[in-house]
């Protein structure tokens, strides 16, 4: 009964929200939202354009400090900093915190693109004070991740991590942005997904081309990850992606 009551309350809340907002009011609200969206783009572009080459690190906000992937993300960020890359994360806990910590502890540039959410997230303490940017809109934040990153390092995560990964793959596949290295860390975690992509998406349904599998690389160590990114840029110049 409690579950039914909660669902009914949620349905009632949604119904009242729609009833209390007439269509002309929605249109006016949308028009004013344009200015908020523009301000987030301007703020992000101004700050990130000054930072220099960076790598975006993604992964679950739920990963604890004693988890092997937390430690691996921290090590990767440290080695990226040693190789001259700044580190961009979503600014929250878990893998994001590990990435910022690894950069901060090794005197690297530590960037946090924080998003305001109803149930999470507060920013972690390892972000440079002048490189913390707050966003209300996911899509604006995702532009920043891609535009100013010279690589994506993707550790185990949930829906948000998958969203960032597949958006980047799509943009590169369709040549909407320049190609950059995408590294999936943890073959144990990614193996099942990669097998499905190969067997179902490619071979069974023919929904991608075989060359699309070259858009990413799976590694298990920090050294492999950083070496792959460095090797990529022995062939290509560093520049914004679009």
Q: What is the CA radius of gyration of the chain?
A: 20
Same domain as 130, residue 150: yes
Same domain as 95, residue 11: no
CA 238 to chain centre: 20
Please indicate, yes or no, if residue 32 is contained in any of the structural domains: yes
- Cα dist from 61 to 21, 64, 89, 94, 121, whole Å: 34, 8, 11, 4, 9
Phi, psi of 54 (to 5 degrees): -135, 160
Return the pLDDT at 4. Answer: 42
Antiparallel, parallel or unpaired: β 110-115 and 182-185: unpaired
d(CA 103, CA 86): 7
Please indicate, yes or no, if residue 10 is contained in any of the structural domains: yes
Please indicate, yes or no, if residue 3 is contained in any of the structural domains: yes
149 φψ region: left (φ > 0), alpha (ψ -120 to 50), beta (else): beta
- Alpha helices, H only, 87-158: 95-104, 138-147
Q: In sequence order, what are the residues at sequence separation of 6 or more whose Cβ sits closer than 8 angstroms to the Cβ of residue 19? A: none
Same domain as 32, residue 144: no
- Packing angle between helix 138-147 and helix 23-48, nearest 10 degrees? 20
CB atoms closer than 10 angstroms to residue 174 = 8
In which domain, by residue range, is 22 found? Answer: 1-50
- pLDDT by position in tens, the chain (length 242): 444 444 557 676 666 655 556 656 666 677 788 899 999 999 999 999 899 899 999 999 999 999 999 999 999 999 999 999 999 999 999 999 999 999 999 999 999 999 877 665 688 999 999 999 999 999 999 999 999 999 999 999 999 999 999 999 999 999 999 999 999 999 999 999 999 999 999 999 999 999 999 999 999 999 999 999 999 998 876 665 55
d(CA 133, CA 91): 9
d(CA 41, CA 119): 24
**DSSP secondary structure letter of residue 131:** G
d(CA 58, CA 9): 35
Please indicate, yes or no, if residue 238 is contained in any of the structural domains: no
Same domain as 1, residue 58: no
d(CA 123, CA 133): 10
Return the pLDDT at 181. Answer: 97
Please indicate, yes or no, if residue 195 is contained in any of the structural domains: yes
Return the pLDDT at 237. Answer: 67
- Rounded to two decimals, what is the model's pTM? 0.85
Domain count across the chain: 2
Tokens of 224: 């492999």
């Amino acid at each position: 009964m409690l579950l039914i009551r909660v669902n009914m309350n949620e349905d009632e809340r949604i119904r009242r929200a729609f009833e209390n907002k007439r269509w002309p009011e929605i249109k006016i609200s949308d028009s004013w939202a344009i200015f908020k969206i523009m301000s987030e783009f301007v703020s992000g572009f101004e700050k990130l354009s000054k930072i220099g080459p960076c790598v975006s690190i993604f992964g679950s906000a739920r990963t604890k400090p004693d988890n092997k992937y937390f430690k691996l993300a921290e090590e990767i960020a440290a080695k990226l900093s040693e190789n001259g890359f700044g580190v961009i994360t979503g600014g929250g806990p878990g893998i994001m915190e590990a990435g910022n910590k690894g950069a901060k502890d090794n005197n690297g540039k530590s960037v946090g693109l924080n998003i305001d959410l109803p149930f999470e997230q507060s920013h972690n303490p390892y972000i440079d004070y002048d490189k913390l940017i707050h966003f209300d809109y996911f899509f604006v934040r995702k532009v920043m991740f891609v535009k100013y990153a010279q690589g994506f390092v993707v550790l185990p995560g949930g829906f948000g991590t998958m969203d960032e990964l597949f958006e980047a793959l799509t943009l590169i596949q369709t040549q909407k942005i320049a190609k950059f290295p995408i590294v999936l860390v943890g073959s144990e975690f990614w193996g099942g997904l990669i097998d499905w992509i190969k067997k179902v998406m490619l071979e069974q349904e023919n929904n991608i081309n075989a060359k699309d599998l070259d858009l990413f690389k799976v590694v298990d160590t920090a050294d492999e990850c950083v070496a792959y990114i460095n090797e990529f840029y022995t062939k290509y110049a560093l520049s914004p992606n679009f």
